Amino acid sequence: MPHAEKEIVKIIHIRLFGEALNYSLDQSLNTIEEIDKFLEAIFGSIKTYFELAGELVGTKQKNAESVLSYLSSMRKLDKELIKAASKDKQNLDKGVIKNEVETDCIRFLFL
């Protein structure tokens, strides 16, 4: 690991507070990538509902991708959209969002 990355990791450790600090006390986080994955696991993606919705619209099945793999990635996006909507504090019912996402998924599967 480059010296600069070690220094950045130290600074990030020093700057952690609240839940991130509490959860990180028993973790061995030595790279920026490890810290990034750790924080995302606790707090979720930083993408907004609209960014993820844009990804959903732009997601197409790849040539060599199986239908099951494609559907799995769509389900993952569905879960991320619901989390993002809650995180964005939008007053949207999760059931409504889920139904809209499922409708969009079906629509894009057959276009």
Structure tokens of 74?
A: 């769509």
Is 103 found in the same domain as 55? Answer: yes
Is 15 found in the same domain as 58? Answer: no
Stronger pLDDT, 13 or 71, i.e. the higher one:
71
What are the pLDDT digits (tens) for 48-99?
778 888 888 888 888 999 999 998 988 888 888 887 777 665 444 555 556 6
Is 99 found in the same domain as 65? Answer: yes
Do 20 and 41 form a contact (C-beta atoms < 8 A)? no
Is 9 found in the same domain as 35? Answer: yes
Structure tokens of 40?
A: 């995302």
At residue 98, the pLDDT reads 61
Is 93 found in the same domain as 78? Answer: yes
Is 105 found in the same domain as 53? Answer: yes
Q: Is the pLDDT of residue 46 over 50?
A: yes
Is 66 found in the same domain as 14? Answer: no
φ and ψ at 6, to 5 degrees?
-60, -40
The residue segments making up the domain with residue 30 are: 3-43
What are the pLDDT digits (tens) for 99-111?
666 666 666 666 5
Do 46 and 37 form a contact (C-beta atoms < 8 A)? no
- Quick check: pTM over 0.95? no
Domain count, the chain: 2
At residue 91, the pLDDT reads 40
Stronger pLDDT, 20 or 60, i.e. the higher one:
60
Tokens 């490890």 belong to residue? 34
Tokens 């079906």 belong to residue? 106
Q: Is the pLDDT of residue 40 over 90?
A: no
d(CA 60, CA 105): 10
Structure tokens of 13?
A: 């450790």
Is 29 found in the same domain as 56? Answer: no
56: exposed, middle or buried (Cβ count in 10 Å: 0-12, 13-18, 19+): middle
